[in-house]
Structure formats: C-alpha cells, structure tokens
Structure 1
Amino acid sequence: MTTRTPPEPERGAMYVSGRRLSFLDFGGPGRPLLALHGHFGEGRTFTRLAGELGDAWRVVALDQRGHGHSDRSADYSRTGYVEDAAAVLEHLGIGGAVVLGHSLGGVNAYQLAARRPGLVDALIVEDIGAQVDDDLSFALSWPHRASTRSGLLHGLGPSASYLVDAVREYPDGWGLAFDPRDMNASQRLLNGDHWDDWLAGDCPALLVRGGRSTVLSAEHARSMAARRPRTRLVELPAGHSVHETVPVEFAEAVGGFLGAL
C-alpha cells in the first residue's frame, strides 16, 4: 500500500441531552466508516488510517464521551457509549456503516452491532476481547494540572510518551484532554463478560490482535474468531495500539477486509 498524505478533516459537533459530542469527518465520496478510539485517546488517532484508505472510505472519527473535544459525562455505562455512536451515525444520516473500534472502542463497536444491527454493515475490532478485565486506577496518580507543559509531562512519568497528544493548555494550567477519574470509572464499567454481544451479530468482522498484546491473548482471539460466523483474525507485530505501532500494516489489513465486502 502506498503511503498517502492524510486528509484535512472537518471538525463537527452535535448535542445529546445538552452534552457536546465532537467528531472529525475526513469527508470524501466513499462509503462511511465510523472509528472509535480507546481510553485516553481521541478521534485524531485515526488520521493516518483515513489517509491510507483514500477516497474509497469516508472516515468519521468520534471523540467519545469524556475524551478530546467532547464533553464529560456523569455516565460511562455500556449503554451510554453505544447510544453516542448510534446518535452520530443518525445525525450524519448514515443508514449503515463499517464500525471500527480500538480497545474501549472495539467493545462499543461490537455492542452497537449487537444492539443496533441496522446501523452496522461490518465490524473491525482492534485488540480487545469478549471478556474484559483491566484496571486504570494507576491514572489517578497523574497530575490534574501543571504550570508548564514540560512540568505536566514530567509528572506523567513513563506514561508521558503515550499521552503527549492528549496534552492541552487550559486557563488554569496544563492538563490532559480527559479526566483520569472518568477513565477509571469507564474501565470499571467496561469490565465484564460480553460474549453475548460479540456472538449476537453475524455481519462480516475483522479482529486485529497485536502479537505482543497483554490485553488480548492469542487463545482468546482465536476463540472469538472461531465462535463468531464471518469473522477473520489477523495478528500483527505490535502491542495493544496496533494502528499506531504498525500503521501501514494495519491499514493493509483493514483495506484488504474492506475490499472484500
């Protein structure tokens, strides 16, 4: 696949019960693909993918509740996230889309397919299982604000390299584009057995696992692919954030799947 220049997206917004949901629309005449990031992320993490896919696909990348340019919420339930994704598709007048999700976004994607099947033509799930058990309480030790950008990055310690794109300047100092307390609460509500949702749909699905992932084991990924019809498993040489670590290989896997739809 030839590396393409990422397109300039248009930032859009809509409101759900007075709460702002922001998204990046990379435009173009192609078929719609809704992209859902993981915890600590935001929609722009899929900029490279949008460029690699080219005009054949119109990528819409949501800043999920409590992340990026979207408002915080008092509710980080499974239903809340799924309803946000459905609301964006309906707001844009998209009757059916391919839905891609990384980590948190992957569960949101396959639960959307299970609960609102008319909105999802195909699924791409990146490095998350049908049973989730993780802990983000370590994020509660991160500084809320710092007087300088460098001070914030220093306070984030080893996590700084992963979070550099989430750093923002606020009126009262430098902080992150999310509240760690929200992320911790969201993860607690994400944990659980979601096999029923994973198995509920039968639309075509691509499951991408990072070969070095500590989040999705090879055995669990194989079981997910074997038990769900029309599901293809691809493993790439990466950890949990496959689309960021090996963007070209990830785009090739996604593009090959999309081309067969």
Structure 2
Amino acid sequence: MDHEELPSAGEWTKRRMTDGSGNGSSPEHGFVVVDGLRLHYLDFGGEGKPLVLLHGVTSHAWVWRYLAPHLTHRRLVALDSRGHGDSQWSEGHQYETEDLASDVVEFIDVIGLGGVDIVGGSWGGLVGLQVATRVPNLVDSLTMIDIPPSFPGPASEVHTDPGSDPNHARSVAYLRDTAEYMDEAIGEALAAFGVRPGKNGRLYTKHDDYFHEQRPHRAVDYWEELESLRMPVLFVRADNSTHLSAPVAERMLQVAHNAQLVTISETGHRIPTDNPVALGRVLRDFLGP
C-alpha cells in the first residue's frame, strides 16, 4: 500500500507541537473535568462540523493523527478515554463501556460541540454506539470501525504488551508485530506518544494497568442498541480483521436500519493507522461536505 503522502516519524515528531497550519497539522491540547476525572483531548481545528473521534482499548487520541490530513473539511476532536493517554485513571476501575459513553456525552456538552458525527475505532465504536443510543438527537451519524456489537469470549484476559520497559524500540517492535500493515514511521510515532517516563528511567504504557487483564468491551451485547438506531451508520471492516468476521458484519448491516458496510483491503484491525488514506476516503464519501 502507498504511504508516500505520510511524513516520516522524525518529521511528524518535529511538527506535532509546532505546526499550527490547520486540520491535519499539530492539534491543540485541551482538558476537561468529567465525572470527577481530568480528561485530555486533541483538537485538530477546522471550521467544519464537529467530528468526535474515539479510540480503542489501550490506545490513545494520537492514533487519529494520520487520518486528520484526509478530513480537513471537518473539525476533528479526539478524546483520550478515562484510563488512557493523558487522561486520568479511575481509582475504582470504572471502565465499563457505559462509563466511557457518559464521559463522551458530558464532554460534548462541556466544550460546546452541539450536534456531532462520531467515529469510533474498535472499543471506541461501541462507546459511540452507546452515546448514539442514549442521546440520538446529539449524534447525526455513527461510524463503527472493525468492531462487532458482542463478543463470545470473556472480559477477563491476559494480554502481552510492552508494559514497563526502558527501551523505546521494544514498544515499536510490539506495534509492528501486532499491526502487520502499519507503516513503520507511524508505529515509531505512536510508540513515542503511547509511553510515559517512570521510575529508574523506565517507560510505561499510557493506560491503566487494569487493561492488561481486562477488556470491558468483551462483556457487552449491543445488538438491540444497534437495531434501535435511526441515524446513518457506517460499518468499516478490515479485510484481515481479527475482530469482525464477514458474516457478523453482514448481520450488522441487516440489523441496522440505515447502514452501510465498507471493507478496506490491505488492512488489519488498526485501520486508522494501517490505512488512513483509504479510511479518509471512505469517511469523506459517507459524511459528505
């Protein structure tokens, strides 16, 4: 796949805090207090209609960085979910999908976005589904990226990720090993944004340790919620998905009332970073001007 339009990791890191030339360049950082937690978000700017971006489990708002240049006609706002990125952790491990959805509803109100479109990757798609179900008058459209409305497996699992490690290269290697189609420059940049300094010069992944063993989204069953939606819904599936099978995606298309299904080729589960060019094209076609 062609990544010639994407800057190198070094260029990207240099530009991330200095280039303010509009949507797709360096975003503004913001913080809000929601449900007693200080949540961080990135505002990529733009004068168009607000598009709220929700990441998946153990991820962070920066995963949308490479999609932003392909949606310059919209105001992109990416939230770090509680327990992720630069947002505060929940001391009581209140990380159910419903908890995150409540955060999003209040977040949209606090920063005054009004009616929005929501794009959610993986778990973020389920969070967006909950938001759209609760306040349908607030959500004009919903895009769910590579995620089914229910899972057969348990919520309690043990997952291997870099955890704490002094070697940035190991974080890059982890992303490369678990994201076959990701451009190496993107992997390097995401690894840089996905860790924080800790004791003895070690680096720690920027999410609550709770998520090393728990995947709250695997405990949900949202088929009824999906059926209840009336706004336009887009399902985006990776052709090499490990999460959303083709038969389940087709069932989702039949259950939803006003839905489209698009499969993106040469892509794994992390579509926003595996193939941001194709995803941007799909979203422009779906969202319109």
TM over 0.5: yes
- 1:117 matched residue in structure 2: 136
- Percent of pairs identical after alignment? 31
Tell me if 1:227 matches 2:255.
Answer: yes
Relative to its length, the structure with more helix (as a share) is 1
- TM-aligned CA distance change 1:159 to 1:202, over 3 Å: same
Give the letter for the 2:148 counterpart.
G
Tell me if 1:137 matches 2:166.
Answer: no
Q: More displaced, 119-128 or 162-171?
A: 162-171
- 2:147 matched residue in structure 1: 128
Q: Is the 8 A contact 2:108 2:114 kept in 1?
A: yes
Tell me if 1:164 matches 2:181.
Answer: no
Give the letter for the 2:75 counterpart.
R
| Unmatched 5+ stretches in structure 2 | 7-22
Tell me if 1:52 matches 2:70.
Answer: yes
Give the letter for the 1:239 counterpart.
G
- 1:197 matched residue in structure 2: 225
Q: Is the 8 A contact 1:152 1:175 kept in 2?
A: no
Equivalent runs, 1:59-98 vs 2, <5 Å: 59-73=76-90, 74-98=93-117
SS in 1 for 2:196: strand
Give the letter for the 1:220 counterpart.
V
- TM-aligned CA distance change 1:200 to 1:42, over 3 Å: same
For these two proteins, the number of residue pairs brought into alignment is: 256
Q: Is the 8 A contact 2:52 2:117 kept in 1?
A: yes
- 2:16 matched residue in structure 1: none
| Cα deviation digits, residues 45-101 of structure 1 (max 9, x gap) | 1112221111x2000000011110001112011221101111110011122100000
SS in 2 for 1:202: coil
Give the letter for the 1:67 counterpart.
H
Shift of 1:167: 2.3
SS in 1 for 2:158: helix
SS in 2 for 1:175: strand
Give the letter for the 1:116 counterpart.
V
Ranges of 4+ aligned residues in structure 1 off by more than 6 Å: 151-157, 160-163
- 2:50 matched residue in structure 1: 32
| Cα deviation digits, residues 143-177 of structure 1 (max 9, x gap) | 64334545777899955986724222224421111
Shift of 1:104: 0.4
Equivalent runs, 1:5-16 vs 2, <5 Å: 6-16=24-34
SS in 1 for 2:66: helix
SS in 2 for 1:222: helix
Q: Is the 8 A contact 2:59 2:85 kept in 1?
A: yes
- TM-aligned CA distance change 1:248 to 1:183, over 3 Å: same
Q: Is the 8 A contact 2:52 2:77 kept in 1?
A: yes
Tell me if 1:184 matches 2:213.
Answer: yes
Relative to its length, the structure with more strand (as a share) is 1
**Root-mean-square deviation (CA), in Å?**
2.7
- TM-aligned CA distance change 1:147 to 1:116, over 3 Å: same
- 1:257 matched residue in structure 2: 286
1:66 and 1:83 mapped to 2: Cα distance? 14
Give the letter for the 2:60 counterpart.
E
- TM-aligned CA distance change 1:158 to 1:18, over 3 Å: same
Give the letter for the 1:40 counterpart.
T
